[in-house]
Structure 1
Amino acid sequence: MRKILLGGLIISSLFACKSPEARRPISVKGGSFIDESIARNATLFQAEKEQFQNIIDKNPNQKYLASQSGFWYTYNKQIASDSLPKPDYGDIVVFDYDVKSLSGIQIYSESETKPDRYVMDQQELFTGLREGLKLMKAGETVTFLFPSSKAYGYYGDENKIGTNIPLICKVTVHSITEN
């Protein structure tokens, strides 16, 4: 009797040492929302790009450049000197700007935005303008065409700029103080 009990105990202990199995989810959901969002954003960007191309075509005397960051710009006033620095991380930039819709309707004037004092990459500023300032020198004026993804995006500015609105911004840099 003891041998049978001991044998049963040994056999049951061998089966008890089985490694734990991972639990599987009851239902698996695909990434359909993300896929739909990507497709929707690609369509939106393409439509905005066509609107920008129309603006560029209507102004043949202006030379628009495409940035590596995904927006377009033209110099209204360009400083040819290479001795003037462009802002870098931590530099203080004093600038003013206005904001218009693609149809040319004023959203914010320079007086509403006031000359702004911005510490590069250390303060809140919408993506396109932050990246655009890095292309400028003191004394330059540039007109930027920002797609909604580089402007205020899906949320807008919760004031005058709504959801997914591309913008035209005319920016003048008054001074750059190196940190």
Structure 2
Amino acid sequence: MRHFFLFLSFLALFFSCKAPEARKPVSVSSGSFINESINRNKELSAREEARIQKIIKQDTTHNYITSDGGFWYYYETKDTISNTTAKFGDIVNFNYDIKDLNGDTIYSRKELDTVNYAIDQEDLFFGLREGLKLMKEGETVVFLFPSYQAYGYYGDDHKIGTNIPLVSRVTLNKITKQSTKEN
């Protein structure tokens, strides 16, 4: 009888030390939501780019430049002598306004006032952040930003709504270098 209890104890111990098994998921996601979202964003981007290209084509007085970042711009005032642009950490002092593609003012220069901004160290929408790096002191540039370069899906929680492409006229007043070595 003693062997019987010992045998039962051994069996209980053997089967209770089984490794846990992974459970199967209750539902399987096919990724269709992500694919639909990608397609919607591609269509939105194409529509915005077509609107911007139409504006560029109709504006024969300015020479538009396509940036590597996916926005367009032209110079109202260009510095052809200096080649100093702002780098990471430099402080730029600038004024700007924001309009929609129809030319309606969303934020005036007066509302936005003069801004001091540390390049890539403070909050500023992506397109403007990249645009400031292209500018030299004293230049005035008009940028056309698709919504994904501006405030995107979320807007700014005030006057700029969801997926609004923007036009911004920026004057770079001063660059204050913060580092002595070039990046």
Per the normalisation by structure 2, the TM-score is 0.88
- 2:112 maps to 113
- 2:139 maps to 140
Aligned residues: 178
- Asked if 1:122 is matched to 2:140, the reply is no
Amino acid at match of 1:123: E
- 1:168 maps to 167
What SS is found at the alignment partner of 1:176? strand
CA distance, structure 2, for counterparts of residue 167 and residue 89 of structure 1: 25
Q: Which moved more, 1:148-157 or 1:59-68?
A: 59-68
Amino acid at match of 1:109: S
What SS is found at the alignment partner of 1:149? helix
1:91–1:178 Cα contact (<8 Å) kept: yes
Q: Which moved more, 1:156-165 or 1:50-59?
A: 156-165
Q: Which moved more, 1:45-54 or 1:149-158?
A: 149-158
- Asked if 1:57 is matched to 2:57, the reply is yes
TM-superposition CA deviations, 1:35-89 (whole Å, max 9, x none): 22222111111000001110111123422222222211112222123x4421112
What SS is found at the alignment partner of 1:142? strand
Q: Which moved more, 1:33-42 or 1:168-177?
A: 33-42
CA distance, structure 2, for counterparts of residue 21 and residue 75 of structure 1: 65
- 2:181 maps to none
Per-residue deviation, 1:178: 0.6
- 1:47 maps to 47
Aligned residue runs from structure 1 range 96-107, under 5 A: 96-107=95-106
1:141–1:172 Cα contact (<8 Å) kept: yes
CA distance, structure 1, for counterparts of residue 106 and residue 20 of structure 2: 62
What SS is found at the alignment partner of 1:128? helix
- 1:157 maps to 156
- 1:80 maps to 80
- Cα RMSD (Å): 1.7
Amino acid at match of 1:126: F
Identity of aligned residues (%): 52
CA distance, structure 1, for counterparts of residue 5 and residue 111 of structure 2: 89
CA distance, structure 1, for counterparts of residue 27 and residue 9 of structure 2: 39
CA distance, structure 2, for counterparts of residue 161 and residue 16 of structure 1: 62
1:49–1:147 Cα contact (<8 Å) kept: yes
Structure 1 portions without partners, runs of 5+: none
1:84–1:138 Cα contact (<8 Å) kept: no
What SS is found at the alignment partner of 1:18? coil
